[in-house]
Amino acid sequence: MSNAHTVPATGTSTTDGLPSKNYKMIDALGHQLRVYDEGPADAPTLVMFHGAPHNSLEFRFNVPAIVEAGYRVVVPEHLGAGGSDRPEEVELYSGYHDYERAVAVVDALGLDKFYVEGGDRGSLPAWMIAALNPERVLGLISENVSHLNGFFIDPALDQRKRSWYMSYFQFEAAEEVLRADDWALAREFFDWHPDMEHILADWERPNGLKASWLNWYRSTVNPDTAPKAEPLPDVTAPVLQLYTMNDPYIGPEQLITGREFIKGPFTLKRIGGAGHFIARNAPAVFNREVIKWLGDRENERRSN
């Protein structure tokens, strides 16, 4: 287990549905991550990993319903996001380091077995924990992204085309272009996201744009410097795959390429018109499907 430890979060105040009293700071691999933690300590726990560029507020319309349904919800904010540390070193933001810090967080909280959920940047720690720690993960919920082998190891040509921006963001000039004209390009790029002002608030901080967004691409998918992605083991835990056909960044083909690496019970749910960030764009449907699926899994556990 990690020697990470927790201390109360300070200087945090949220007026958007996530009470500041439920935040804490966790020392994960030498960096402080701000973590939202709500619900009974002995309840089944869902660890939710937000996307980029955002923070725990991405789930502010989901957490209350899931907690009310009888679960504990933990939302770590990735390095560089929200109230977490924002170091300068680009290499610290890789997807693999996100995974390592995620494990440190659940260890610090004393979570032995738990469910995971993730989308966008949060897909990597969610899928990696499920693949590399099968004895700990009770089930996985994913937004649009399927098993990572189908995305990073052998992506379809359509997905390569959709991921053009990952190459563009490798260049320093991208930051200046994104900031121009009151973030005009960034606002257009994220036209599916209703939380642009929250995102911009993160970006406007010192090192904010790089830490909460660009550094992830520069450390994870840079063709010259990023470590070559190694295949992950199959995922044997139950999987709830949520997807929508109008995601501008993730194509449906990777649902097919990733499916062969999912060996446990598999549930596929299409959420119409939800775009890339399903939990945020379609919270009522997301909450209904997630709570039902979690309930079914818990009933199965109790009956075994």
Q: 76-98 pLDDT, tens per residue?
A: 999 999 999 999 999 999 999 99
Give residue 142's pLDDT: 98
Task: Give the integer Cα–Cα distance in Å for 190 and 176.
Answer: 17
pLDDT tens for 261-294 read: 999 999 999 999 999 999 999 999 999 999 999 9
Domain contains 149: yes
The DSSP 8-state label assigned to residue 262 in this structure reads B
pLDDT tens for 112-169 read: 999 999 999 999 999 999 999 999 999 999 999 999 998 887 677 788 788 888 888 9
| 27 pLDDT higher than 80 | yes
Domain contains 1: no
Domain contains 84: yes
Domain interval for residue 41: 6-303
pTM score of the predicted model: 0.93
Domain contains 78: yes
**First-to-last CA distance in the chain?**
28
Domain contains 86: yes
Q: Which residues pair with 8 in a beta bridge?
A: 24
Share above pLDDT 70 across residues of the chain, in percent, rounded to a whole number:
94
Domain of 236, CATH number, reads 3.40.50.1820
CA atoms within 13 A on the CB side of 67: 20
- Parallel, antiparallel or unpaired: strands 72-76 and 31-38: antiparallel
Domain contains 110: yes
Give residue 92's pLDDT: 97
Task: Give the integer Cα–Cα distance in Å for 171 and 191.
Answer: 22
Domain count, the chain: 1
Q: How far is CA 167 from the centre of its chain?
A: 21
